């Protein structure tokens, strides 16, 4: 779970993800699934069907906050 950063439209919002680390991680990036609790897209990188765009730019789990701040 990621909490939206302060002073952004996502402040205090809760974002829940499933994260799968492949056997050859970190040579291949993690696979993320976003659990959407709405029928609206809250962020251009997060889709209602669970798709997360932009994740392949980083293999560090904590960088998910950067995606949400975009």
The count of structural domains within the chain is 1
β partners of residue 48: none
pLDDT, residue 59, reads: 44
Which range marks the domain in which residue 63 is found?
Answer: 17-69
On whether residue 25 sits in a domain, the answer given is yes
On whether residue 8 sits in a domain, the answer given is no
β partners of residue 35: 16
On whether residue 49 sits in a domain, the answer given is yes
Reading the block at residue 24, the tokens are 């050859």
On whether residue 6 sits in a domain, the answer given is no
pLDDT per residue as tens digits for the range 12-69 = 888 888 988 888 887 887 888 989 887 888 788 888 888 888 755 444 555 555 555 5
Q: Count of residues for the chain?
A: 70
Asked if residues 69 and 5 have their Cβ atoms less than 8 Å apart, the reply is yes
Residues recognised as catalytic: 53
On whether residue 12 sits in a domain, the answer given is no
């Amino acid at each position: 779970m990621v909490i939206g950063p302060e002073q952004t439209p996502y402040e205090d919002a809760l974002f829940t993800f499933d994260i799968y680390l492949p056997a050859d991680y970190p040579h291949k990036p993690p696979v993320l699934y976003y659990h959407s609790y709405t029928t609206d897209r809250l962020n251009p990188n997060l889709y209602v069907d669970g798709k997360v765009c932009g994740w392949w730019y980083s293999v560090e789990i904590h960088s998910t906050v950067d995606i949400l701040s975009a």
